[in-house]
Amino acid sequence: MKFEIESIGTVYNKRKEVVDDFWGDTISEIRLHDHLPEEALDGIETFSHAEVLFVFDKVTDPIVWGSVHPRGNTNWPKVGIFVQRKKNRPNLIGATICEIVKREGRSLWVKMLDAIDETPVIDIKPVWQGFLPKKEVKEPKWSKELMTDYWK
């Protein structure tokens, strides 16, 4: 099945290049497109976090559907595309839970959004405790190692 998705806004920040790590101090402005009313963000500032869905529109690497070592690190096991959160993935959709910094008009500023400057945003959702996992989140050791410098 094919479908179309229209972006609702654009990310603006200091990150100009596709780099995997050191996102921790990144503050991004998500600016809604002019044809959308700024009221679409009314109330977002009452939440601490938002989940931002965006498009990896600058990815040129091919999607590898089979198992590969994450980031090419042979110390980590080969895993399939749906076991990784890499940018070159089916449909090129990224999703990150970000801390809300502030909202002004049609702009929302967030911390720790791992999307580079001028990335198209396709949705913004407030984070509700009720939608978070009810049980402890389990993950393998390699995924924690991969994230060591990600948010620094």
CATH code, 137: 2.40.30.70
Share the mean pLDDT of the chain: 92
- Which residue has 């620094």 as its token pair? 152
Parent domain of 119: 9-146
88 in a structural domain: yes
3 in a structural domain: no
**pLDDT at 23 exceeding the cut of 70:** no
This prediction's pTM: 0.91
Number of H helices, E strands in the chain: 1, 6
Number of domains in the chain: 1
4 in a structural domain: no
Report, as an integer, the average pLDDT of 111-116.
93
Q: Which of 32, 33, 11, 37 is nearest to 111 (CA)?
A: 11
For 120-150, how does the pLDDT look when each residue is reduced to its tens digit (9 = 90+)? 999 999 999 999 999 999 999 999 988 888 8
Compute CA distances 112 → 28, 73, 96, 124, whole Å: 8, 24, 8, 14
Compute CA distances 12 → 66, 90, 115, 120, 143, whole Å: 34, 24, 9, 10, 28
152 in a structural domain: no
Of the listed ranges 38-52, 54-68, 69-83, the least confidently predicted one is 54-68
151 in a structural domain: no
